[in-house]
Structure 1
Amino acid sequence: MSGERPLRLGFIALNDAAVLIAAKEKGFFAAEGLDVELSRQVSWATVRDKMSVGALDGAHMLAPTALAISLGAAGAEATPLAAPLALNINGPAITVASRLMAVIGEGQTADGLARLVARRREEGASPITLAVVFPFSVHNYLLRDWLARAGIDPDRDVRLTIAPPSRMTELLVGGVVEGFCVTEPWDTAAVAAGAGQVVVRGSQFWPRTPDKVFTVTEAWANARPDELQALARAMLRAGAWADDPANRAALAMMLAQPDYVGAEAQVIEASLADMIFHAGGASAPQPIHAAWLLSQMARWSHIDPTIDIEAVARRVYRPDLYAIAAAALGMPEAPPLEVLEGFGSERPFRLATAQAYADEARSRRVSAG
């Protein structure tokens, strides 16, 4: 089915590449008649570039990056993408250097960090440096929201820098950064190294945090629908396998291989506890998740605030493609999410009101600045 060469799928060394890796290692791709080559990439910018020029057939991708590429807002020419599958719920966390914990304290707020930011400003010291994995990432927007709720302006009061996920612990140990937001296992790896402490998990701050999606270009999806459905079926089976508690130790060993995530298996196994790959409809690409992320992108002026958020969310996130694959496997339907609760807005977030929320959030930020 795959043609003359293997299908080349890109991924980054993170736990939420598990669905692609398990589909390869457990033979789910092969069972669908697919010859798949998994290609580990060095950075999200590389994934963006290779997807845009067709060097990858599909990829494990940051959800905001998929949206930004589709809009031409990620440093590349606009390339409409389609996401027929969500790869995980939960996994991101904010980790701060252990040496700062005595100052900022424990808990789910950044109040202690806000006091430290103010003190450094008064003393004329350098601002706190925090790392995220890519400008268009759930990590950037999660960290920004966490900071902003404590009165910290992420564009003026701290220094935000970009670093590959697998280098976060190294940078924390070396004092290059004082905290970061990244998906597991690199938060748990920093804790295991004694370099950092997790101050808040995405699941505590944005319940059932949306993170990565599997993407292909819209043109590829239209030209090769049978292969796309075969990929989706294989990854749905892999997600169900990865979610089974009886398989978590084996999954950790699989991910620990140097060509995949390359962290210690025991660190990976511990870091999988909060992550969901399939259960409870986690595999379904929910347009409301895309709308929430687009609203954050508009809030921070990272995209044109006049875009039609609902239309973009529905074009990129494709629950219709997911539903075909799930039905073929006899898996239960995943009804569309109508509302997000507990994401920090004063009222529940709805797809139909996403535009208004984004406009209000951006207006408040502009007024405060």
Structure 2
Amino acid sequence: MSERLRIGFIPLADAAALIVAVDKGFCATEGLDVELVREISWANVRDKFNIGLFDAAHLLAPMAVASSLGIGHIKVPVISGFGLGVNGNAITVSPDLQAAIAAMAEGDVADPLVSARALARVVAERKALGLEPLIFGMTFPFSSHNYDLRFWMGAGGVDPDEDVRLVVLPPPYMVESLANKHLDGFCVGAPWNSVAIDLGIGHILHFSCELFQRAAEKMLAVRASWAEGHPETLARLIRAHDRAAQFIEHEPNRDEVCAILTAPGRIEVTPELIRRTLDGRLKVSPEGRIRETGRYLLVGREAAARPDPVQGAWNYAQMVRWGQAPLSAELLAAAKAVFRPDLYDAAVGTPPILPIAPADGIGECTGTHFDPDDIAGYLSALTIRR
């Protein structure tokens, strides 16, 4: 008899392994009868997950860390033995802001440092003219989207808490808010950046992999207490998702994968939008300009599915940087402990192929080396921080 599980998810491309594991039958092969429950906001997923309405969840990596540390909400220790995606976000801006940044740029605007410094000049000019601050959307305070925007802005001398406004919106609402001019830009996961481009209302300024070579995006998260009581179920869940990730990354399967992901009740956009994301070949302007990278969204390749404690440390460092958490050795250890490569290795049973680069596991575009055991040293080199 199959074991029934309920898993919450948000309609995003990095839910691919989760959806394929269920709809392609990989979970059933492991004796798991999984019901996927589609939610509109991360707060909904978190709250239902925390109180046990979901056995597992498609969760923002920083949200899992914050939950385990008890910051921003109630403390619910979370662990993950499987990463659903590395990278996959983009910063999209309105045509007006794109033009303003391009006009102020001293160098190639495709360089995040050039565009960030240009943004600082745009912000200064707007202040001098007495205009309202620019408004950027992100999906949750404890999200890579928040930290992507803050990192990019800070690298150019823009204080995200003083010079602009950051507001929280569910991923599917970003596009409409940009169209209505409620936002000047946003950072969100695929496919919503591409939706804005196709509607002619935005320009993708940067992929998140241009800010950091490697950043954990979503996790297949379970409560630590649940994992202790269901070790074999968790191992089967990890195996099913690892098979799904490898299936997704096998290029001849892409058409089938896109059809699965865009079915009713799943992501519900055109298969072509998902194909662009998985292939890393995205339209970045309404005029049809294409930008291509092999690192846009890593699902199973380059050991993306194997949780890395360095990512827990980096997310915790961002929380400390922006005043969301105090600095302590205990909290750092707890953040690292969310990412459980040992569970992945035990379930999959084969040694992972570790990534060759970046050497520090993050690869910031500023060239800063991240030491997961020296958060204070990392933060001391940053000009803008709380």
Same fold (TM over 0.5): yes
Aligned length: 360
Matches within 5 A, 1:137-286: 137-272=143-278, 273=280, 274-286=296-308
Take 2:91 and 2:121, find their aligned partners in 1: how far apart are those partners?
18
Contact 1:10/1:60, CA 8 A, preserved across alignment: yes
Structure 1 residue 319: Cα displacement: 0.6
Take 2:67 and 2:131, find their aligned partners in 1: how far apart are those partners?
37
- In 2 relative to 1, CA 61–197 (structure 1 residues): closer, same or farther, beyond 3 Å? same
Per mean C-alpha deviation after superposition, the further-off stretch among 101-110 and 130-139 is 101-110
Take 1:281 and 1:342, find their aligned partners in 2: how far apart are those partners?
16
What do the CA deviations read for 1:81-101 (whole angstroms, capped 9, x no partner)?
011111111211111012221
Per mean C-alpha deviation after superposition, the further-off stretch among 218-227 and 45-54 is 45-54
Aligned match of 1:350 in 366, 371, 380?
A: 371
What do the CA deviations read for 1:78-127 (whole angstroms, capped 9, x no partner)?
01001111111121111101222111123222222222211111111111
- In 2 relative to 1, CA 104–365 (structure 1 residues): closer, same or farther, beyond 3 Å? closer
1:78 aligns with 2:82: no
Structure 1 residue 204: Cα displacement: 1.0
SS at match of 2:87: coil
Take 1:64 and 1:307, find their aligned partners in 2: how far apart are those partners?
18
1:20 aligns with 2:18: yes
Per mean C-alpha deviation after superposition, the further-off stretch among 304-313 and 257-266 is 304-313
The residue that corresponds to 1:69 in the other structure is 67
Contact 2:249/2:299, CA 8 A, preserved across alignment: yes
SS at match of 1:70: helix
What do the CA deviations read for 1:229-285 (whole angstroms, capped 9, x no partner)?
000000000000111111222222222123111112211211222221111111010
SS at match of 1:199: strand
The residue that corresponds to 1:365 in the other structure is 384
- In 2 relative to 1, CA 2–325 (structure 1 residues): closer, same or farther, beyond 3 Å? same
Give the structure-1-normalised TM-score: 0.92
Structure 1 residue 313: Cα displacement: 3.0
SS at match of 1:114: helix
The residue that corresponds to 2:55 in the other structure is 57
Take 2:191 and 2:206, find their aligned partners in 1: how far apart are those partners?
15
| AA matched with 1:323 | D
Structure 1 residue 214: Cα displacement: 0.9
- In 2 relative to 1, CA 341–72 (structure 1 residues): closer, same or farther, beyond 3 Å? closer
* Percent identity over paired residues: 39
Structure 1 residue 162: Cα displacement: 0.6
Take 1:13 and 1:307, find their aligned partners in 2: how far apart are those partners?
36
Contact 1:206/1:343, CA 8 A, preserved across alignment: yes
The residue that corresponds to 1:306 in the other structure is 328
**What are the ranges of 5 or more consecutive residues in structure 1 without an aligned counterpart?**
none
Contact 1:338/1:350, CA 8 A, preserved across alignment: no
The residue that corresponds to 1:297 in the other structure is 319
**What are the ranges of 5 or more consecutive residues in structure 2 without an aligned counterpart?**
103-108, 281-295
Structure 1 residue 344: Cα displacement: 4.6
Contact 1:65/1:74, CA 8 A, preserved across alignment: no
| AA matched with 1:99 | D
Take 2:381 and 2:50, find their aligned partners in 1: how far apart are those partners?
31
Structure 1 residue 305: Cα displacement: 2.2
| AA matched with 1:95 | T
| AA matched with 1:90 | N
1:113 aligns with 2:119: yes
The residue that corresponds to 2:346 in the other structure is 324
Structure 1 stretches of 4+ with a deviation exceeding 6 A read: 335-338
Contact 2:91/2:206, CA 8 A, preserved across alignment: yes
Per mean C-alpha deviation after superposition, the further-off stretch among 232-241 and 264-273 is 264-273
Take 2:141 and 2:39, find their aligned partners in 1: how far apart are those partners?
17
Take 1:341 and 1:275, find their aligned partners in 2: how far apart are those partners?
15
Give the structure-2-normalised TM-score: 0.89
SS at match of 1:283: coil
The residue that corresponds to 2:36 in the other structure is 38
Take 1:260 and 1:74, find their aligned partners in 2: how far apart are those partners?
29
